Structure 1
């Protein structure tokens, strides 16, 4: 076959098609006169031109001209007439010149997320071959890899410069990642920490506690948090809230520890010795980061308690409510929320009627002025705050406010009798030891018209269930004597008809992960604090078939 003879016999075409299939792409053959000798069927998937422009004998210049008119290698949409930035003749000349190079490769975009590669080869005989392949998936993986790499680099930079310690351990409890703040806390260079374990860096008792907690987090996957009175390596003291999380996949789990300094958050303008004042609810532990040979016995920092004091948070901002209540509960406060002046009045009226003291009403400044008027009319101390103070200042302000000396001390509150209509049929048994939450329960249930009784501990809840045969039980899980899980289990064990009484677990955000424990104890459902009348009403509709109270039925 001479160089001017087209290879268009059936055998040659089939052979070239087989080659095209083998390389999973289009196959274009041309001669030294820039005339097409062969174009595999797959080429038509890559070049949006009329079939005759790819037929043997067609000119490459006409092919590239049609490509240019149609927008280059990317097909034009009906409403788009954009073309390559260079002129038509220059673009065609550039494409043909690329075919005359001995070897050349390029990547072209074919659409929004489609890419192709062009591999060109010119042989000494003058014949040329261009292979076209779809590399969209490869390009996507490559772009994803670059994005992941950039994300990792940004994440590392952010973690490295965070103002609080972050450290990462693997399944063998070896340090595999620390940031600058963590290295400063240990008073060591990062390379002196990585690859080592707690027993090599900390005092034996602290190392044993740290390893035990890390192992628990790795095994269960449950987040853990603990408040610590930390003695830094330089001997200075601070308060830290330490949180631990499990990350990764089975077989490659890691435990991430974040240590947030609380001295600015809760110290405010208090003296240094009062940093820990009012934080008993967080159950502080002593953690000395100094080398064992430098440890000395230290006096215990005096603590002025605010645990058990009652605070009413007034806001319509769900973010403030969701963030503020757990922080108050973490300080050991009895706390609940109200969303309107009517709710503030209802809660304060019920508290006054039952001779219960609310120590402070914290009001979001964005609330209507009527809320402030109702709060002030109640005679309870009022603290107005701005939303921007929520994150770092509000808990400090509440702590200082509650620690202010008072001229007169309120007399000890008498026990309140919560057994409403105990001699009649009872709709709802509430098991709740938080006095402020009892007020909220009573307000909601009275508004619905249900009869109810409130138990203050798990043993009382089981006893009242036996005596009063309620239609439904609302069970707080953190009760004294018997916790909510134990009380629910005892009820299920003694029922004549298993599961006859619906039991709804009441969880706070801090223990939201205990839903499975509720199911294991025989509970039917759960609700989250802060309590919502709408959510409770939905549960009553679901589990009280007729939706009518016992007194109304009578």
Structure 2
């Protein structure tokens, strides 16, 4: 067809071929009768077909048949149709696609060979086909996908590990952490990555960790050390820390693995041994653990709005700074741990190594009229024998008791703050205990639930109000008589005497003695516990619904007890 074409046409074809080759494309041009006008030589590099099928004048049907026979028909069919089709059906489908105004596809020629096809049919019927080899691009995408899958698999494996793992770069910044490491710090992975140990722990520990990190990175020596870590939730983590370098010194990474041995430490029995038979762990091994990171932040952990569900971690101020506590233990680790915890609670602490020393201590204290209010003893020493402090409350402690739970344990021992005040004042004066003068207070709380008592104590201390807590209605009436509170928060469901009876008793006494009514707010979980008519008859102006909040308590105090005249204070 082109045998008699002018030299200019041949030159045009040559230029077009050079341009297509420079662009990395294989170009085919078809006329309106589907006969080949031009085919770039690069087409032969894409398809293993005979050059005769690229001669000008070749029918499109014959060219497509050659492609099918060369293996394109066994590749990925167009438009997502994965049904294997026959030769004639495949050719017919391709002919219809060539007459679309625009069509694009990516097809696999062989197992690892991809071709991109872009068809354009012009308004004058001329069809242009642009072909390009995407094999390298597709192989690169496959490699990236495999790398992503390997990274995701590695991350899943690390997150499933029960022990904490972290990876640092040459600058000792965290570049990878697993879930256990995040839980240990109480932070998310995004908050940890890119930071250093200086952002997480005290400077003393940060400098120590960084020195060992650099030694491992520079020298390649493994570092192993037993450490006692306080996690973000206040629990002790007894761990063996392993550090090692991965890679060469110039571009190596530091991997730190925390091997958790807490179950072994917590398993020490009364004789200071773990297990039975030949598998025994000596108690002295505990002393090899160095105090390390303290990741617990009591201010961050304390959420006043949720104190109804979570016991407080501090003693009320009135109790804490007056308590004298004696700790009996021969374990240096337990001694350091609870001495620090008691000091944070503002308690005076004395320490002896055995029960046998209690007698000598009692004689020494008798000379200065001082004695402890509570005995804490290491439960591994066994039950305390009869001795001079038998009348005092005794609490067993162990290494698996978290320091944050110590305050609640002390309060649960049944110590009365009023008894402690009188006893310690008397001892300081070298006299026998005498009853203390009763003083007016801001708030009287009548509540029998231990958790709610701690909640109210935390809230009222935070508001700077003086208070007393009665555990039943009878005690509430007694405290009302002796302390003249400005406001009473009265729970209705209490033992001995319930809240209804306590309110009636107080109101009857006020009327008999012509006293000004004390504002009483009932504390309840049900609004119908006291009818409006009964509240009005007993001059109960308001309800406080559980769970309580500091804002609501403060508002009630300012409304009813912050110095207003009596008529305004009790007005509903």
Q: Report the TM range for the smaller structure's normalisation.
A: 0.3 to 0.5
- So what's the TM-score if we normalise by structure 2? 0.44
Q: Give the TM-score, by structure 1 length.
A: 0.45
Structure of greater Rg: 2
